[in-house]
Structure 1
């Protein structure tokens, strides 16, 4: 086990989606000189299907999306495990939100991503599972799909161990302290000396970075409900696309994949009112999607005020790289981990990440970076 004074070079803080990916990509480059620390237990996560999208709403994300898909395929190649299932994806907007379709199509055109625009009649003909009123617009992109986030995280960690990385659970990081020769990673009963640190602690990021300044993030909540639909064939991944519906409430849905259930996600707090709105939405627009409720869980995630990822080195402390994924989807999980590994090993990335830097105005707080969560 690595102790103060050892030649341990790189520490990853957090073994969630981004952290597990960073641990793998770092260990692939550096072998056993990688230690990944997770404050909770590992290995107990349930199935957690997340959408992936080649077509993105913002140019900065769209520029990274092809590399994100290629990165998932690389992890599948070296692990032998299927991780990304392409189902196609729909974005549907009612009359009040139809401008979103136009903006999305404009980004697709700028980045040469193929798509189809569908009127309500075409949407009903292709996917009779949906009920539309006749005022909606829709956009279909054939390469959207699903990644099981829990399976992907376990795969990244297994591959990291195969390259010699040490993975420790029940090891919360309390602080980082910069010294002239190294970065101290402070645990409850140990101080680890590291040459480089990757922070991928999601909602714990601001606390971990507090000794180096801070970070201005909010905490977003998504309510995710799984349903035991009786219509398995209609909502199988071969027949039903992942979808986002923009209207009075923005909701996102995934058909039957892994777990024998459909899944609907909705941002917000207050489970009772949100549950009623989800039920009303499904009854009106996707009735066969519903069934007995299996479970509802909350996903918490750290989000900057501009809604973009955080990828880069701490200003004034290049030995500490930070990654925060600003989407509940899984499109960029492995790629961001790969970029963090690049930053930790070479100090730069071959990918365009300038828009995600830590010194941009959206992350600034008065006098210091500081969490608003």
Structure 2
């Protein structure tokens, strides 16, 4: 382990300013003020992705479930200090319409272990409570009332604004080409400058391996591509957040439905290969009132570890560099993971249970 004396002339650098990076920027700036420097290779908020993300209280893994309460509390803290509304709780359904329902049983078991309230519903109970659905009668569902929607674009912008308010410097169009640890600091290499950093947080998404080249074996990362199609439904009251939940439907295709929140449209998340005909067939059969004139389809990209689990850790042998990569339902934990990364950068450790998110975990090595 390398021990580095603290120096007031060294910066704390965050590489990447997406969901995790923007959150890390805020929580780090709260701790070190103007010594925080954030380097984003592109334009802030310029990816054009759809901002709606599912916020889940009932998780399918124990490691995530152990952090869910604090993840929600962290979002509320950010809302409190910013005066912004980032989270809308709508309740959430996970519906399965065929085959073995192992995911519902597994999620229910995890919820039980972590004292999360939920309901298991048959098709008649779902249709009775939410008549917007048209069901065949063989479906089963899990309902959790605290599920909702977080506006990712608004959350990122809020984290960035709060970071600047605490004195952080945020630079756009500043790709990091390499990190070079030395005895007294970490050199952050840009195209036309080398920055001396006391600690570095890497939250670079698809660019993670490029930034970490030479410091660690390449991480097995995959880019997931989903599209979100918006419909100008005329049935605004029926699909308002107070009357209609976020839903995930597992069947021939897996889709995610969002009520009218923010934009005056309903939204359907689906695999990029799903064509318009199949989207309309699914909605016509199962949620007909959801439909309206199709407004736009946006692509959502997410870089995730191959074992579908977060990475939140310091580099083995180089604790001055910490790394964050989100996984499934990652935006539920975005602000909390940023907070943990800031802890690793300022204290070298976190009191939160992040052992399952280690860089050297066997499952990640096997996936590599």
TM-score w.r.t. the length of structure 2 is 0.94
* 1:49-60 matches, cutoff 5 A: 49-60=52-63
Paired positions, count: 360
| Alignment correspondent of 1:39 | 41
Query: Per-residue deviation at 1:275?
Result: 3.4
Which of 213, 231, 240 is residue 227 of structure 1 equivalent to?
231
Note the alpha carbon deviations across 1:198-251, whole angstroms, 9 max, x for none.
Answer: 011111111111131222211111122111111111111111111111111111
| Alignment correspondent of 1:75 | 78
Taking the aligned partners of 1:363 and 1:172, their CA distance within structure 2 comes to 27
Query: Per-residue deviation at 1:6?
Result: 8.3
Indicate the SS of the match to 1:54: coil
1:360 equivalent to 2:361? Answer yes
Indicate the SS of the match to 2:42: coil
Note the alpha carbon deviations across 1:47-103, whole angstroms, 9 max, x for none.
Answer: 611110110011110001000000001101111111111111111111314222111
| Alignment correspondent of 1:25 | 27
* 1:1-373 matches, cutoff 5 A: 7-44=9-46, 48-213=51-216, 214-267=218-271, 269-270=272-273, 273-328=274-329, 330-364=331-365
Taking the aligned partners of 1:236 and 1:339, their CA distance within structure 2 comes to 34
Indicate the SS of the match to 2:99: helix
Maintained 8 Å contact 1:182/1:193 = yes
Query: Per-residue deviation at 1:361?
Result: 2.4
Note the alpha carbon deviations across 1:268-297, whole angstroms, 9 max, x for none.
Answer: x43xx4433322211211111122222112
Indicate the SS of the match to 1:7: coil
Maintained 8 Å contact 1:305/1:362 = no
Taking the aligned partners of 1:222 and 1:362, their CA distance within structure 2 comes to 25
Change (3 A) 1:221 1:45: closer
Query: Per-residue deviation at 1:169?
Result: 0.6
Taking the aligned partners of 1:96 and 1:20, their CA distance within structure 2 comes to 40
Gaps of 5+ in 2: 1-6
Query: Per-residue deviation at 1:43?
Result: 4.7
Taking the aligned partners of 2:152 and 2:342, their CA distance within structure 1 comes to 19
Moved more, 338-347 or 179-188: 179-188
Taking the aligned partners of 1:351 and 1:284, their CA distance within structure 2 comes to 44
Maintained 8 Å contact 1:118/1:140 = yes
- How large is the Cα RMSD of the aligned pairs? 1.8
Maintained 8 Å contact 2:59/2:107 = yes
Moved more, 11-20 or 299-308: 299-308
Change (3 A) 1:197 1:145: same
Query: Per-residue deviation at 1:183?
Result: 1.1
Maintained 8 Å contact 2:305/2:326 = no
Maintained 8 Å contact 1:97/1:247 = no
Taking the aligned partners of 2:199 and 2:180, their CA distance within structure 1 comes to 12
Maintained 8 Å contact 1:203/1:300 = no
What stretches of structure 1 move > 6 A for 4+ residues in a row?
none
Change (3 A) 1:259 1:240: same
Query: Per-residue deviation at 1:45?
Result: 6.3
Taking the aligned partners of 1:177 and 1:231, their CA distance within structure 2 comes to 56
Maintained 8 Å contact 2:56/2:329 = no
Taking the aligned partners of 1:164 and 1:320, their CA distance within structure 2 comes to 22
Maintained 8 Å contact 1:217/1:363 = no
